[in-house]
Amino acid sequence: QARKLFDYNIVLIGFMGAGKTSISEYLKTLFAMDVIEMDQIIAEREGMSIPDIFEVHGEQYFRDLETNLLIEMQERKNVVISCGGGTPLRECNVVEMKKNGRVVLLTASPETIFDRVKDSHDRPVIENNKNVPFIADLMEKRRAKYEAAADIVINTDGKSIIEVCEELVQKL
Ligand code: S3P
């Protein structure tokens, strides 16, 4: 595959289980782009898992780390930034995202999301409420913020990773 150079960063946002990690991994292979998996970098730097960071330092501390990382990444170009599901909830994070480049919102129905997250245990926000009504409710509460942050919206329901990436590349 030919290397494609974007003079901006691609910022992936969306609810937990929307497909941010899967799509970023595929873009990495397709375009030889570096991927910044925000949760992973934060966990590595802090030397503890995301649930532990929430438990020990609290959510605000975690959100501050997200903001700082978004600012740090503005010095780079041609990278895919895979945000945490809650990153766009802070208005200042949205401002920093937009400075990075194109913000792509991945969406899916609550049923699809439930199916994708039901077996994982690394998401403290839903760990004790892993059911469709809770997911639907939280998604509804976040919807306006996600949509306000997005330059491009892609629904992932029933689509393969390749199909989502094709749609994304067309819309970039
Ligand atoms: C969160 C989503 C998680 C992670 C943290 C908080 C959220 O990321 O950043 O658990 O508030 O939606 P994923 O979307 O990668 O699961």
Check if the interface score ipTM surpasses 0.85: yes
Contact 43, 49 (CB under 8 A): yes
Cα 1 to middle of ligand 1, angstroms? 31
* Best of 15, 16, 120 for a ligand 1 pocket test (most atoms within 8 Å of beta carbon): 16
Cα 171 to middle of ligand 1, angstroms? 25
Domain ranges of the chain: 9-171
Q: Is 14 in the pocket of ligand 1 (CB under 6 A)?
A: no
Q: What is the pLDDT along the chain (172 residues), one digit of tens a residue?
A: 556 788 899 999 999 999 999 999 999 998 889 999 999 999 999 999 999 999 999 999 999 999 999 999 999 999 999 999 999 999 999 999 999 999 999 999 999 999 999 999 989 999 999 999 999 999 999 999 999 999 999 999 999 999 999 999 999 8
What DSSP letter does each residue of 75-92 carry, written as one string?
A: T--SEEEE--TTGGGSHH
Fold of the domain built from segment(s) 9-171 = Rossmann fold (3.40.50)
Contact 81, 73 (CB under 8 A): yes
pTM, two decimals, is 0.95
Q: Is 107 labelled a binding residue?
A: no
